[in-house]
Amino acid sequence: MASRLHTTAALLATVAALAIPTPVAARAAEATPTAAQADFFEKRIRPLLVDACFRCHSAEADAVKGGLRLDSRAALLKGGETGPGLVPGHPEQSRLIEAVTWDNPDLQMPPRRKLSPSQIADLTAWVRDGAPWPAESGTATADRAREAAARARNHWAFQPIATPTPPALPDSAGTLHPIDAFVQARLREAGLPVPPPANPRSLIRRVTYDLTGLPPTPEDMEAFAADPSPEAWERLIDRLLSSPHYGEKWGRHWLDLVRFAETNSYETDEAKPHAWRYRDYVIRALNEDKPYDRFIREQLAGDELPDGGADGIIATGYYRIGIWDNDPADKELARYDQLDDIVATTGQVFLGLTVDCARCHDHKIDPIPQRDYYALLSFFHNVAPYRNGGASDEVPLPDASGKALAVTEPGATPPDTFILQRGNPGNHGDRVQPAFPQILSPPSPKITPAASGRSSGRRLALADWIASRDNRLTARVLVNRVWQHHFGRGLARTPSDFGLQGLPPTHPELLDWLAQDFMARGWSLKQLHRRILMSRAYQASAVASPEALRKDPANDLFSRFDMRRLTAEEIRDSAIWVSGAGNPRMFGPGVYVSLPKEVLASQSVPGKGWGNSPAAEQARRSIYIHVKRSLLTPVLLGFDLAETDRSTPVRFATTQPTQALGTLNGTFFNERAAALAARVRRECGDSLEARVRRTLHLVTGRPPSPAETARGVGLIQTLEREDGTTPDAAMNAFCLLALNLSEFFYLD
């Protein structure tokens, strides 16, 4: 026992000794920070501490974890329950550095996500330098708070939408497209020329994919390239917007945002009945050019609209397509998780705000207090929990066409809503009433319970405010999303975060002009498409000049058109369509494509809930594939399919070796190559040269050069002569090669 006590005492003495600043550290503690040190702290250290630590370790925290505060140097030196937080000049002795490096398995901070190597390096350098912290008086702190509040009030996205006039350029003679006036004015300021137009074949391929998600036929491409009429481009746009494939392409963008899937996730991942009707509603609404303000109202409160009809019921499937835990450990917490999913999705999709960051505390960046979060949640509080209402989730349609997965409420009287301290359902704070985020200077909600007595009317009040012309965010967010999908990035590059931590628009006046024009034209998405596509900015060449690359490397000024890779669905659908096997049938229950047994085995019960549709059904467009959260289609997942558990505003195009392995060796692409070979044999007869030429024309969208055709013929003949490959197998191999060309995957 004595030995143990001696050892413990020695350890405590050692720890105590380590906590005593050395003379060097003491001098560093007393020194006034230099200008460089103060600048480093304000730019690199303070924002890091605020973002990663203040939630639990500051005066703002509801309960300071471990008694340790990190919002002042004195608090850091004093430390918490385990001793001082840092030893100035000695990062190797500082608990702060030990915590953020995660070297100690019992001390890992922040607990949810390790800091990046550069952030850890910044903190280490700061502590090694003596942890200099610029002095702040109470007045300075108050001034900082006032400055932050003023910055929030003056933030561009929280201002009323302006009505800017397109710039008048001296040599435009008043004929310049308004979008081009804004874009070209910025190019002139930067001393950059207007980019030349793209060639006709690039243009028709670009716009056909952008509006329909499918490749143009070689015949359509050649006809457009040969048409000198100034009206040819506008006629092409109108034809594509009238295509039923338009709704399929742009419906997929919307489904990304609303986290569409047809199963619940978690281990059992059971199917959501009739979820496909919501997908079909979105496609039909876009094809019909349903005004966006009506589109909003139907999804948020279609059942409360007096003229909602079948669409109004089906559209509220919006509330049911998120994840759902059918056997939660804590049912009340799971209930608030469901509500949080609705609040988060609604805030990000329609308003471009990360409102859900205020679930447990006031938003750390944006001016959204916790009270605003729960005031917004109260609009949804009367929604019956999914599946806990049983068959009430499956609502008969008024046109007797079946049932839809839809929202329900148990009556017109909603439960009380309280602020939950730190998000804990067992720790009620103040009672709150429905209200809109106050930073937007909103009106008071006008709530009228539904005449049927079956719902509170709260969701309709929210929908009316979001869809109002006076809302400062709704139109801006939507036109930015449409611009994003035409140009590869939004005018504001963070399309679901218009708050203070988001990136500001590169062309704010253009964004507001588009928003005002969009509302003035009846919230018509097709009119918005026409506006954008008729501009020279959209029709610009993707070939960048050396000057543009030097002065505008990120293409912030649109000094060229950004190339893009096809999306996962476009890749799969194009491979089917160019092979001649595409099935254009629309709507209905999801399709089950063939999956390898290895993929089926990845479930807890291999293959559970996955069927096997006939070959003709499997040749339908990818948007109709059944979306099972635990069993996503590999050919789509490999090319950056949208996440299904939460809203996906941007898909990032990754480049990985597994993609090429899949397109060269995978069953799907080999089957498509064989079908393409069969097609060109039917169309071209016995001429090998004609087959090669037709294959390349179908895949790339342009007539191949004689040299390209000769190379293809030579490859096939070499495979037959030197490898003993049969003529059909050699043709299949060439078609597989063609489907792996960069020109097949990329648009310029």
Shared-domain flag, residues 639 and 692? no
Concatenated DSSP letters of 106-162: TB-SSSSSPPPHHHHHHHHHHHHTT-------HHHHHHHHHHHHHHHHT-GGGSPPP
**From 112-121, 251-260, 383-392, 608-617, the region with the lowest mean pLDDT:** 383-392
Strand partners, 80: 83
Cis geometry, peptide bond prior to residue 110 (ω within 30 degrees of 0)? yes
User: pLDDT tens digits, residue range 708-747?
Assistant: 999 999 999 999 999 989 999 999 999 999 999 999 999 9
223 and 346 share a domain? no
User: pLDDT for 463-473, tens place per residue?
Assistant: 999 999 999 99
What contacts 47, CB < 8 A, 6 or more positions away?
none
**CA dist list (Å): 746 to 217, 253, 514, 542, 703:** 16, 19, 28, 12, 17
For residue 287, the model assigns a pLDDT of: 98
648 with 683, same domain?
no
Q: Is residue 99 assigned to a domain? A: yes
Give 644's contacts (C-beta < 8 A, 6+ positions apart).
259, 260, 261, 265, 627, 629, 632
Q: What is the phi-psi region of residue 555: left when phi exceeds 0, alpha when psi lies from -120 to 50, beta otherwise?
A: left
Asked if residue 92 and residue 223 are part of one domain, the reply reads: no
**By three-state DSSP, how is residue 451 classified?**
coil
Q: Which residue has the tokens 């490959």?
A: 725
Which secondary structure element, helix H or strand E, spans residue 337, and what is its range? helix 331-346
Say how far apart CA 346 and CA 258 lie, in whole Å: 8
Mean pLDDT of the chain: 89
Q: Please report, as a single letter, which amino acid is at residue 358.
A: A
Buried-exposed string 551-588: b where 16+ CB fall within 10 A, e elsewhere = ebeebebbbbbeebbbbbbbbbbbbbbbbebbbeebee
User: Into how many domains does the chain fold?
Assistant: 5
**Residue 738 covered by a domain:** yes
Q: Is the residue at 309 inside a domain?
A: yes
Structural domain harbouring 622:
566-654
Residue 139 has pLDDT above 70, yes or no: no
pLDDT of residue 560: 96
Query: Is 512 a member of any domain?
Result: no
Residues 618 and 733 in one domain: no
How far is it, in rounded angstroms, from Cα 661 to Cα 657? 6
In the listed set 630, 654, 678, which residue is the last one of a domain according to the structure?
654
* Residue-level pLDDT at 676: 97
Q: Are 271 and 609 in contact (CB under 8 A)?
A: yes
For the ranges 12-16, 92-96, 170-174, 701-705, the lowest mean pLDDT is seen at 12-16
**Tokens, residue 292:** 């966006």
Torsion, Cα of 87, 88, 93, 94 (10° steps): 70
Residues 585 and 707 placed together within one structural domain of the fold: no
Share of the chain above pLDDT 90, in %: 69
d(C-alpha 320, C-alpha 258), whole Å: 10
Backbone torsions φ then ψ of 656, nearest 5 degrees: -135, 150
> In whole angstroms, what is the distance from residue 54 CA to residue 647 CA?
27
Q: Is pLDDT at 23 greater than 90 in this prediction?
A: no
Of 608, 615, 575, 577, the closest CA to residue 594 belongs to 615
Same domain, 296 and 424: yes
**456 in a domain, yes or no?**
yes
CA–CA separation, 637 vs 633, rounded Å? 6
Query: Between the CA of residue 744 and those of 17, 570, 671, 681, what are the distances in Å?
Result: 67, 10, 17, 20
- Of 417, 433, 466, the last residue of a domain is 466
Strands (E), 662-743: none
Helix axes 568-578, 667-684, angle to 10 degrees: 30
Centre a 10 Å sphere on the Cβ of residue 138 and count the other Cβ atoms it contains. 7
Higher per-residue confidence, 456 vs 602: 456
**585 with 680, same domain?**
no
**CA 732/CA 69 separation, integer angstroms:** 67
Q: 352-374, pLDDT tens digit by residue?
A: 999 999 999 988 888 999 999 99
Digit-coded pLDDT (tens) for 599-610: 998 887 888 889
Tell me if 261 is assigned to some domain: no
Residue that is last in its domain, among 441, 466, 491? 466
More confident of the two residues 136 and 79: 79
How wide is the angle at C-alpha 696 spanned by C-alphas 694 and 700, nearest 5°? Answer: 125
pLDDT grade, residue 21 (50/70/90)? very low
Whole-Å CA distances, 443 to 159, 356, 437, 447: 15, 21, 10, 12
Residues 114 and 87 in one domain: yes
The answer to whether position 494 is within a domain reads no
The pTM score is 0.81
Same structural domain for residues 430 and 349?
A: yes
Contact 285, 673 (CB under 8 A): no
Using pLDDT thresholds of 50, 70 and 90, give the confidence band for residue 172.
low
- How many CA atoms lie within 13 Å of 578's alpha carbon, on the beta-carbon side? 30
> Could you give the angle at which helices 657-665 and 667-684 cross, rounded to 10 degrees?
50
CB 318 within 8 A of CB 334: no
Contact by Cβ (8 Å): 151, 500 = yes
Residue 7 included in any domain: no
**Residue 4 pLDDT greater than 60, yes or no:** no
- Do 384 and 411 contact (CB within 8 A), yes or no? no
Do residue 699 and residue 578 come from a single domain? no
Residue 623 to residue 590: CA distance in whole angstroms: 9
Section 294-312 average pLDDT: 96
Residues 218 and 366 occupy one common structural domain: no
Q: Is 50 exceeded by the pLDDT of residue 635?
A: yes
